[in-house]
Amino acid sequence: MVLKVFNTLTRELEEFKPQEDMIVKMYVCGPTVYDYSHIGHGRSYVAFDIIRRYLEYKGYKVKYVQNFTDVDDKIINRAKEMGVEPAKLAEKFIAEYFKDLDALGVRRADVHPRVTEHINDIIAAVEKLVNKKHAYVVDGNVYFDITTVKDFGKLSHQSLENLQVGARVEIDERKRNPMDFALWKASKEGEPAWKSPWGLGRPGWHIECSVMSMKYLGETLDIHGGGMDLIFPHHENEIVQSEALTGKIPFARYWLHNGFINVNKEKMSKSLKNFFTIREVLEKFSPESLRFFYANTHYRGPIDFSFDALTESAQALERLQNAYENLIEYKNRLEKEGRTTDKGKGSEQEVNQALEQLDQAVKTVQKRFEDAMDDDFNTREAIAALFDYTREVNRVLASGNINDIKRIDDAISMYETLGNVLGILGKKRPASNDEKMIESLMGLIIEIRQQARNRKDFATSDKIRDRLKELGITLEDTHEGVKWKRK
């Protein structure tokens, strides 16, 4: 099956064909850094991180660029409120962004350009648009003239008239048309400003992404991504100014947009007091749980966020993690016992049947996973394939008829390979000193509980189990010994 993606530009599912063989030039709009990243940011950047990972899984070399808007009205206003310089505020929240997204396992882009580092490039682009009569100057401001292009509205699939009626645009009598947008803004007192042919000022929002994306990826992108809220006006304006600047159509071959996050079925908003930052959520849930929660919905679909839904998601992920970890423990036990052949506990027929079941499960999950991801990165169906795989693996392990280390390694590798695409499973990170101490303490507690059981002091044994449960730690008595897990 070939990879197909839903292109917002055409509103069709299209076969993905980059300009250069096995090379993908991908740009995703980054945040305006004036506050901590919220769960909507997390949803978008996890979605495109998974898309990037899957493209690499298929053998593509992905050149990935994601910017930071580090000068903007929101940054300036917030800096005034906090009594700090806008540049320092932006620097602080860029660092905080990386902390949050690193925690979520979002791999950093190849380049993270900042607006303030590309002022000269932006001025040159604006100057070229003015010279080509696509832009005009009024009182030190430069506006793009949308009447100089023919297909304004092609991304949002609306006519100029409809956009004009429905859009909330900044009223400015100096514009020739209400839909014209600022490429360069004349400076106001106390604001950051740079010298330009039109006087002191700073870039408009839309021109930044056009300039930075083309600087690092060339005049035609393969994938341009972002949230659905960016389709209009940001991405619509990017298209017309970029194509007017270069004369090359299309500016981006495939436009991909992720869906919104609602909170308890209402739009997330600070005014509604249902606004959550990533770090607020990570105080209660693991990063893997939040990432799995995002991935369990198709990237274009809306997500209704609630802590109950996130709890259910965390429990579902735990089932996958447990199966993966049980496989590893099973393999380690076989190696420790020196049982590395395919002679299991059952008859030869039962052993062969178990081997065939495991082999088939490995083949089936890979095909189903790839079919799902080739269908516009359908992570929900890909995860469903992993759950079906888990049921098969658990069934084979329970039989005790599989001792072939290579087969078990293949099963483990499939979890790791496919889990790595989603960023939810993989080899455990080395335990920290605190985690090692907890492991040792739990070992001691389990030993004391076992001693109580041996004395038939079941009251003490049950009390230890119940008190641990109150603390969020469950004990599970298995034929391999006592296992413990944290909720």
CATH of the domain at 91: 3.40.50.620
Picking from 398, 422, 446, the residue at the C-terminal end of a domain is 422
In this structure, is residue 482 part of a structural domain? Answer: yes
Give the residue from 353, 362, 366, 372 showing the smallest Cα distance to 327: 362
In this structure, is residue 157 part of a structural domain? Answer: yes
In this structure, is residue 100 part of a structural domain? Answer: yes
In this structure, is residue 300 part of a structural domain? Answer: no
The reply to whether 15 and 164 lie within a common domain is: yes
The reply to whether 201 and 115 lie within a common domain is: yes
In this structure, is residue 283 part of a structural domain? Answer: no
The reply to whether 335 and 411 lie within a common domain is: yes
In this structure, is residue 390 part of a structural domain? Answer: yes
The reply to whether 405 and 449 lie within a common domain is: no
The reply to whether 157 and 225 lie within a common domain is: yes
Q: Number of structural domains, the chain? A: 3
Token pair 């005049």: residue: 219
The reply to whether 414 and 441 lie within a common domain is: no
The reply to whether 404 and 448 lie within a common domain is: no
Domain hosting 401: range is 319-422
The reply to whether 239 and 100 lie within a common domain is: yes
CATH of the domain at 339: 1.20.120
The reply to whether 137 and 28 lie within a common domain is: yes
| pTM summary value | 0.87
The reply to whether 464 and 400 lie within a common domain is: no
Taking the C-alpha atoms of residue 211 and residue 114, their distance in angstroms, rounded to an integer, is 11
The reply to whether 437 and 418 lie within a common domain is: no
In this structure, is residue 355 part of a structural domain? Answer: yes
In this structure, is residue 308 part of a structural domain? Answer: no
- Show pLDDT as tens, one digit a residue, over the chain (487 residues): 899 999 999 999 999 999 999 999 999 999 999 999 999 999 999 999 999 999 999 999 999 999 999 999 999 999 999 999 999 999 999 999 999 999 999 999 999 999 999 999 999 999 999 999 999 999 999 999 999 999 999 999 998 878 775 555 566 778 999 999 999 999 999 999 999 999 999 999 999 999 999 999 999 999 999 999 999 999 999 999 999 999 999 999 999 999 999 987 787 877 777 889 999 999 999 999 999 999 999 999 999 999 999 999 999 999 999 999 999 998 888 888 776 654 556 788 888 888 899 999 999 999 999 999 999 999 999 999 999 999 999 999 888 888 889 999 999 999 999 999 999 986 554 444 565 678 788 888 988 988 888 898 888 988 998 888 888 888 887 655 787 877 6
Picking from 422, 446, 464, the residue at the C-terminal end of a domain is 422
The reply to whether 157 and 138 lie within a common domain is: yes
